[in-house]
Structures are given as C-alpha cells and as structure tokens.
Amino acid sequence: MPVSLQNHGDIAVITVDNPPVNALSQAVRNGLVSCTQEALADDAVTAIVLIGAGRTFIAGADIREFNLPSAQPTLNDAISTFEASSKPVVCAIHGTALGGGLETALGCHYRVAVAGAMVGLPEVKLGLLPGAGGTQRLPRLVGVEKAMKLISSGDFLAADKALDAGIIDHIVDGDLTAGAMAFARQLVADGAPLKRVRDLQAALPEGRSAADLAAAEMKAIARRTRGQPAPQKCLESVANAVTMDFDAALQREREIFEELKAGPESQGLRHAFFAERAAGKVPGVSKDTATREIKKVAIIGAGTMGGGIAMNFANVGIPVTLIETAQDALDRGLAIVTKNYTATVSKGRLSREKMDQRMAMFSGAVELSAAADADMVIEAVFENMALKKEIFSKLDAICKPGAILASNTSTLDVDEIAAVTKRPQDVIGTHFFSPANVMKLLEIVRGEKTAADVLNTTMKIAKKIAKVPVVVGVCDGFVGNRMLHAYTRQAGFLLEDGALPQDVDRVIYDFGMPMGPFTMGDMAGLDVGYRVRQERGRPAANYRYSEIADKVVEMGRHGQKTGAGWYKYVAGDRTPHPDPEIEELILASAAAAGVTRHDFSDDAILQRCMFALINEGAKILAEGKAYRASDIDVIYTNGYGFPSFRGGPMNYADQVGLETVYQAVKEMFDGGDEWMDPAPLLARLATEGKTFADWDAENN
C-alpha cells in the first residue's frame, strides 16, 4: 500500500510510501483520504502526523498522470480532508516538499521539518501554476509579495528560510517521526487551535494592492519569461487570494491550471523534462554495465576550453593536472582559472575557503608524461587532426592501461583519432561547450569502437560534474553544431534575399532564443568561422554560397572584440547597433550575386531558420547520429539556449506539424536551394501524419 496508518497510542501516523519520491499518484491520494478518515473515526486518536517514507516527503505530483484525464479523488479533495479534520494534523517534512507535496503540507494545520529539508512550488518550471491551492494558501502564510516571488520563480526555500517565512512552524532535531509526534502531543496538551490556512488573511504591504504587486513582479521578470504565459498566470492567481473568496479563487486556480496544461508552453517544458531523463538511457549500456574509477584527471591544453573543463573536476574534488607545452602557456591557463574563481568569490557565490580547496585540486605540467597516472585524460589542444593524432599516439604509450582517452574536438573524426592508438575501445569524444565551466551540455561522442564501460563511465562522470550528457555519433560538427551550421547558413542567405541582421535577430529573439545568429556571431568572433571556410574551400557549384560573411571579416570586423562585426559597438558596451555600412555591403553583395531582394514577414524569417535546423535534425536522426529526436532537443535547450517552453527544435516541429515543416522545406529546395533537400525521414513522417515523438516511441 502506498499509504499506511500506524497508531502510536494517541497519535496516528500516516506514511506515504511510493518510491522513489512519493509522487502523488491516484493511489496515494486515495490512501491519504481513507487513512485520514480512519484516524478521525478512531476515538483513541487525538492528533495525526503525516510523513513520507524513504528519502523524502512528497516531492510532487505524478507528472505522467498529467496527460490523462484527472482521476478522483483530486489532490484538492485529499487536502481538504486534512484541513477539515477535527483533530490537529501535523505534517513532517524531510527531503523535499515540492509542488503538490508542499500543497499537501499547506493543507495540514502545522508543519515541522528537519533542518536539511527544502520546500517549493516549482510548477511554473513546467509551464503550470500550483493547481491544488498553492496560490491561495501560500500567500495566506507568507504574504502576497513573497508568495508571488516564490510561485512565479519556482524557487526552493531551505528549512530555516521556510521557518522565517512562516511556511513551517518548527525545526525538528533528531528523529523526525518522534519530533513530529511530540509536537502534535504538545498541541493537544496546549489546546492549540486548528490552524486552517484557508481561514487566514493574505497580507499586503502597507499601501500596496495585489494588482500593483503583480504588475511590479511581472515587469521584473518580463524579459526572462517572455513567451511564457505561466508566470503571469501565477501572479494573477495569487492576487485572487486577496480579491476573491477562497473557494471561488481555488476553482479559478484549477481552471487556469487546466488551461496552462493544455497549452503548448507547458507541453514543451514537460517534454524537455522527460527528454533529459530519456537521454540518460543509452543503447548498449545497462545497469549491469561496468564503470571505471575516475580518481585523477589530466587535461591536455590549458586554453579557452582546457581551463574551464578542468574547473568542473576540481569543483567536485577530483584532482586534475593541466598539461601545456610551455610554462608561460600553463601559467596563463592557471591564471584564468584563478580569475574565474576569484570573480565567483567576489560575487559572493563561493567562499574563499572553497576556492582554496578547489585550487588545491590543480597541478600543472609541461610534459605529457604527467598524464601517466590519470584515470581519464581529456585532450583540448588546437583543432588540428595531425596534432591530435600525435598527442593520442603519445598518450597511448604513456597512459596506464584502462585510462579513458577523451578528445574535446568539435569537428574532427573521433574514430580517426582512436585509430592511431592500440586501444580504440578506450577513446571517446567529450564535446564541452564554451564556457566549459558554465555550460551544462556535454555531447559525448561514441566512437565506432568505444567500449560500453567507457561510455557508461563518461556518462556517470558527466553527471557528477553537473553536466547534461547526451550521446551522439561521429559526424561533422556532431549534432549541435552540424544543425547550427544549417541554421546560420539560412540566416546568411536571408540577408542576400532581403532581410537585415537586426530583422533576423529580432525574430529569433522574440521566438525565445537568448539572441539571434548575427548577435551570436559577433559575440563568438566571426574570424573563427572565416578560417574554417577558408580551409575547407567553396562548396560544389550547385550549392549556394553567400560571400557577405567573408566580406565582413575582410573589412576587419571580427565581432565584439574588434568593436564591429555584423553590428557596431560602443567601447565597453555589448549592445549591438545596426550599421548602415553593413546594409550597404548587403545590398551591394546581393546585386553582385544577381539576387533581387524582397520583403520577408517575421514568420517567413522564422521558418527559414528553424526549418533548416529541423531538417538537419531529421537527417541526423535517420543516420543514427542521435538516438532520439528528444536527445536533439536536450542538446538545443541545454547548449544553444533554445527556449525550453518550446521543448526543443524537434518538439517545436511536432507542435507546428511535420506536414507544414516538410512542405516549407520542399518549397525552399524546389526554389533552387540544394542545402534544403528535404530529409527523407521528415518526408516520410509528414506523409504518414506522424511526429518525431512517434518516431522516438517506435525506435526506443
């Protein structure tokens, strides 16, 4: 039984035991109601304690049930059973009381918690609002202003902060059940009132109205939450706690919940949530797959990437050796690491002591032989195949047997690198994103011969260093950058065809990306892509090529770092300013290329960029370079700032409809753009009326 009742003389203890996190499934809701009724009917019982078994209190609703029609009893039914109880109900919290878990706790008359407990209403992160009284009861305990902030951000509070805010009444030292029972007995002995939160008044700061507060909060979060209805709805519902009667506001809250749940933003966020979990499952790797122990790591190259990669390991207490070619390069690399930590300390996000502990994890060397005792070596030298091969063949001779040899290459063939060693099974790609100490995404490149335990170990260590790992196959640019090239290429063509950088960037920003492709290019530096294009040479003649990007670099405009790129910049300011010189260049280049420019609607701009991304994603999927469409979504939401509320590019395609995407791609291709040859998988799914989610379900 997921919920059970034990009588300890005068106190009834109701325990929720629904591993792993005591989610509020229908069976749990049922059990909560029936156990409470049983305890109420027992004359020997004077008070009730509600507690979770295992590692946590109720950590939330059962999200899988969100896609089903709601089943009785609802959570509101269960909660009102506690609230209406004639005997005091004390909720005992350890681990986390989140979402429906905290709403359940708020329905109890009193709440106690262990010092390490956390509480929160994170529904907004799934595009929802707390739909079982959270927006009504929380403001009655903590005041309207604080409730608005907590609910619209979804932030958690630690037990001490929750105590200060009035969410919990007491912190228990020692055994929680015993502490909660003692607290309940004391209530009975004192004849304490049944504190029904619904009967309290939601407090407003002097002279402020709920509408005022909601408007001010909305203004504060508008930029971060653009395109998402949930934060605004959270504020609106909290405001109802002041202006409406409790039951009417509760009903309204439920209606808003249902509206949000049915909307595309919540669907996208829920998809993103499940996609991240699914990405952890890798074909050929199971619970029984062995892992190798990683106690010491070496990083080759302390440049832009190497230092940041090393920080990830130092942060979790794994000793890491940075290896460079010369002392000055090593010193420069270590100085950047020190500077990064110092900046975090000065922002108050890291203690000096912790920084010292982390720095103590670092050692440096100018000899590759320093990698001899490392359990994992990550190579992050220049992107040059000959150099990487040279390093890997040396590592093969130097490293101890069983060491994992990883390359941080962003484009090169990991199999070709592995082939220079006598241990290709130990070679893998770990594609970190810049800045490597900050960005969550890690593309793990599975080589043809990479052993299952090497892959498993790399996945595990990635999670340990707080990355979101996604396994991809060997191909040019792997998944993320390969798709990005298709996207930026179309953005470039749009300039020749009639748009300006600021038009494209505005549309992409409004879609929810942190910035458009031209602002992004200026930030990253335009010279990098230029050099790659020069090295690779022009594509075949039937493939379109726009010279504009090359000309921008040849004008000395390398992006923000040179004060000008696609935009111009004022010294010390990163704001891009449109530049008439660029417009002139675009017009002249279009004329020289014989292209007649025309106006583009915002929709046409969006389609051109996004559908290129999606079409390439479909090719990657069919080639088996990603295991799931949802893996591609994880890559984009975690590595490229793709808005989570759209779920990722492949989920967005499903939302738009694959038939629409396919027709638009086909039209571009038929119009003469060879780059846009429709992915056969996209064509097939569109014809069959299916989605990428269907493909995932059929193939995993």
Ligand X SMILES: NC(=O)c1ccc[n+]([C@@H]2O[C@H](COP(=O)([O-])OP(=O)(O)OC[C@H]3O[C@@H](n4cnc5c(N)ncnc54)[C@H](O)[C@@H]3O)[C@@H](O)[C@H]2O)c1
Catalytic residue numbers read: 103, 123
CB of 307 to ligand X, least distance (A): 8
Supply 143's token pair. Answer: 């005041």
CA 544, chain centre distance (Å): 35
How far apart are the C-alpha atoms of 258 and 241, rounded to whole Å?
19
Q: Report DSSP state, residue 63.
A: G
Q: What is the 3-state secondary structure (H, E, C) of 539-566?
A: CCCCCCCCCHHHHHHHCCCCEHHHCECC
CB of 384 to ligand X, least distance (A): 8
Residues paired with 365 in a beta bridge: 323
CB of 390 to ligand X, least distance (A): 7
Cβ neighbourhood burial of 540 (10 Å; 0-12, 13-18, 19+):
exposed
Cα-based angle 642, 690, 619 (whole degrees, multiple of 5): 55
Number of residue whose CB is nearest ligand X: 303
Name the nearest CA neighbour of 85 among 26, 29, 35.
Answer: 35
Taking phi first (over 0 means left), then psi (-120 to 50 degrees means alpha), and beta for anything else, what does residue 463 get? alpha
Residue keyed to tokens 């009588």: 7
CB of 562 to ligand X, least distance (A): 18
How far apart are the C-alpha atoms of 533 and 290, rounded to whole Å?
42
Q: Largest Cα–Cα distance in the chain?
A: 92
Supply 266's token pair. Answer: 């919540």
Q: Which is nearer to ligand X, 90 or 553 (CB)?
A: 553
User: β-strands 441-446, 468-473: how paired?
Assistant: parallel
Q: Which residues contact 65 (CB under 8 A, 6 or more apart)?
A: 25, 26, 71
Q: Which is nearer to ligand X, 179 or 301 (CB)?
A: 301
C-alpha distances in Å from residue 682, one per residue of 543, 652, 690: 21, 14, 9
CB of 366 to ligand X, least distance (A): 8
Q: Which is nearer to ligand X, 306 or 424 (CB)?
A: 306
CB of 387 to ligand X, least distance (A): 6
How far apart are the C-alpha atoms of 57 and 60, rounded to whole Å?
9
The order of strands in the sheet holding 441-446 is 362-365, 320-323, 297-300, 376-379, 404-407, 427-432, 441-446, 468-473
CB of 412 to ligand X, least distance (A): 7
Q: Side-chain half-sphere of 62: how many Cα atoms within 13 Å?
A: 19
Cis preceding-peptide flag for 469 (omega within 30 of 0): no
Concatenated DSSP letters of 644-683: GGGTSHHHHHHHH-HHHHHHHHHHHHHTT-GGGPPPHHHH
Q: Which is nearer to ligand X, 101 or 307 (CB)?
A: 307
What sign does the dihedral 236-241-242-246 (CA atoms) show?
A: positive
How far apart are the C-alpha atoms of 581 and 569, rounded to whole Å?
13
Q: Which is nearer to ligand X, 383 or 453 (CB)?
A: 383
User: β-strands 110-114, 170-172: how paired?
Assistant: parallel
Residues paired with 158 in a beta bridge: 118
Instruction: Name the site residues for ligand X (rule: CB under 6 A).
Output: 300-306, 323-325, 329, 380-383, 387, 391, 408-410, 431-432, 434
Element (H, E) at 376: strand 376-379
CB of 375 to ligand X, least distance (A): 19
Q: Which residues contact 107 (CB under 8 A, 6 or more apart)?
A: 78, 79, 80, 82, 83, 89, 133, 137, 197
The amino acid that residue 248 corresponds to is: A
Name the nearest CA neighbour of 33 among 61, 57, 5.
Answer: 5
CB of 407 to ligand X, least distance (A): 7
CB of 439 to ligand X, least distance (A): 9
Q: Which is nearer to ligand X, 409 or 456 (CB)?
A: 409
Cis preceding-peptide flag for 20 (omega within 30 of 0): yes
Supply 591's token pair. Answer: 């004329």
CB of 342 to ligand X, least distance (A): 20
CB of 322 to ligand X, least distance (A): 9
How far apart are the C-alpha atoms of 300 and 325, rounded to whole Å?
9
How far apart are the C-alpha atoms of 253 and 132, rounded to whole Å?
8
Q: Which is nearer to ligand X, 391 or 564 (CB)?
A: 391
